[in-house]
Amino acid sequence: DDRLPIASHTMFPKGFMFGASTAAYQVEGGWNADGKGMSIWDNITHVHPDFIRTYQNGDVADDSYHLYKEDVKALKAVGMQLYRFSISWPRILPNGRINQINQPGLDYYMNLIDELLANDITPIVALYHWDLPQALEDIGGWLNPDIAQYFEEYADLIFKTYGDKVKWWITINEAWSVINGYGSFAWAPALNLHGTGDYLAGHNLLRAHGKAYRLYQRKYSHFGGKLSMAFCGAMCLPASDAPEDIAAAERCYQFSFGWFAHPVFKGDYPPIMREMVDRNSKAEGRNVSRLPYFTQEEINEINGTVDWFGLNYYTSMMTKNGITGDNPSTLRDTEMIQYWDPSWPSTASDWVKVVPQGIRVLAKKVKEEYGNPLTIVTENGYSDHGDRDVDRIGYFESHLAEIRRAIYEDGCNIVGIAIWSIIDNFEWKDGYTVKFGIVEVDFNSPNKTRTLKKSAYWFQNYIAMHKLIQ
């Protein structure tokens, strides 16, 4: 068995892949270069600079639009085997629709992919990491049912252009984060339609994903690629052994990871979600549930549309039974109260506490819920203010240890990890002051100089040791 441990459980199985992630808006810059259109992040940061705590934006960022070869050099220097990046929809289709194609945008990603392949680095490509064309937001964005077809047409162009070179695809990165842009002020477009807009956006995200998956099956299956979504949430740990807290943690899981994973693996929303939102909607005097229904045709289209599980994990939350949150809201519908255990170390991100054991609990849950799917950890990382890189090493070492336990002791089918992130980048509302990179970027220098941190050298050794023994 070539998956047997090589040198005890301190090492990963043979063939385990190490890599790193980024996202277009967070690294590329070139916000209006060569015919790129506006995204909702260009728009919100320009119209409302105070939306970002530091009044910064992604106009230039790491300038990866011009310096992508430097990124590939950094990946290569560390020994990374995977690079997960995203394509900016408005860089390819400036108004979101297929009637106008921006050739320099297509060329940019072709050059990046070729550079990766020339360096033996496997690309994992996300079609959507939050930077919706503003022109589509102007007609409702993810609230508009037509977006599923716009997304399908965009996906068609991307699969056609890069399908022979890219075998690992993610349609939507973190639908659960995207919906928070509609249900809160957390991210663009910051509509704050809590308990309504979030469910509508989620519904159309799932419809869009289903259409893109079926399209690939119909037209591009000869390329042999594998499609996924990247799923996220904070892992929900029961606050006590009391059955009502265990049930609350289960609801929490189903209202985050389950919201999107259950439909794509099993055809429809988790039954508990259906039940709670329908019940609350009725109690509010609504004749239409705030959680939309799929037609039978949509269920058929969405059911069974992931070939692998993209698992994003940063942190966990203690969860107990109780009612809190705006009325209406997904939090209130879930009937839970959450808090951080005071013993969990903090990071520079207010929502990330260091809870390595959570990733093992999550991986086991994924195995049990969805039949042990092929899994890649598509994000995992630690933030600081440029001052705690040694703690970043501790974070990775402890999480990798839990992933090994998930593999060897729980039998989870995890075959790789792409950490967040290879380089410091634009951390959304936290601007550039919160840093996730294992490579430092000097944002004040004209050529955005990249310098390996200690954590990058740690990974370099770690990966080199695996290559040596394997």
Residue 116 vs 179, nearer CB to ligand PNW: 179
- Strand boundaries in 106-167, DSSP class E: 122-128
Q: Phi and psi of 102, rounded to 5°? A: -95, 100
312 binding ligand PNW? (CB under 6 A)? yes
Taking the C-alpha atoms of 99, 100, 101 and 104 in order, what is their torsion angle to the nearest 10 degrees? 180
Residue 206 CB neighbour total at 10 angstroms: 26
440 is an active site residue: no
Distances in Å between the Cα of 87 and the Cα atoms of 125, 206, 405, 410 are 7, 19, 33, 35
Residue 365 Cβ vs ligand PNW, minimum distance, rounded to whole Å: 14
Q: Which of 70, 137, 174, 335 is catalytic?
A: 174
Piece of the chain touching ligand PNW by CB under 6 A; list 74-82, 153-161, 171-179, 209-217:
171-179
The contacts of residue 390 (CB under 8 Å, 6+ apart) are 454, 455
Residue 149 Cβ vs ligand PNW, minimum distance, rounded to whole Å: 25
Q: Could you report how far apart the first and last alpha carbons of the chain are, in Å?
A: 13
Which of 57, 122, 134, 177 binds ligand PNW (CB under 6 A)? It is 177
Residue 178 vs 400, nearer CB to ligand PNW: 178
Residue 282 Cβ vs ligand PNW, minimum distance, rounded to whole Å: 29
The pair of structure tokens assigned to 412 is: 């989870």
Residue 180 Cβ vs ligand PNW, minimum distance, rounded to whole Å: 8
Here's the x/- map for ligand PNW, 222-251, by CB under 6 A: it reads as ----------xxx-----------------
Pick out residues in 22-61 that bind ligand PNW (CB under 6 A): 23, 26
| Planar angle of CA 176, 113, 468, nearest 5 degrees | 90
- CA–CA gap between residue 80 and residue 69 (Å, rounded): 14
379 is an active site residue: yes
Q: Which of 250, 379, 427, 440 is catalytic?
A: 379
What amino acid is encoded at 328 in this protein?
Answer: P
Helical pair 257-266 and 271-283, crossing angle rounded to 10 deg: 120
Which of 115, 427, 448, 455 binds ligand PNW (CB under 6 A)? It is 427
Here's the x/- map for ligand PNW, 374-413, by CB under 6 A: it reads as -----x----------------------------------
Residue 174 vs 298, nearer CB to ligand PNW: 174
Which of 83, 265, 308, 314 binds ligand PNW (CB under 6 A)? It is 314
In a 10 Å sphere around its CB, with 0-12 CB exposed, 13-18 middle and 19+ buried, how is residue 278 labelled?
middle
Per CB under 6 A, residues contacting ligand PNW are 23, 26, 173-174, 177, 232-234, 312, 314, 349, 351, 379, 420, 427, 436
Provide the annotated active-site residues: 174, 379
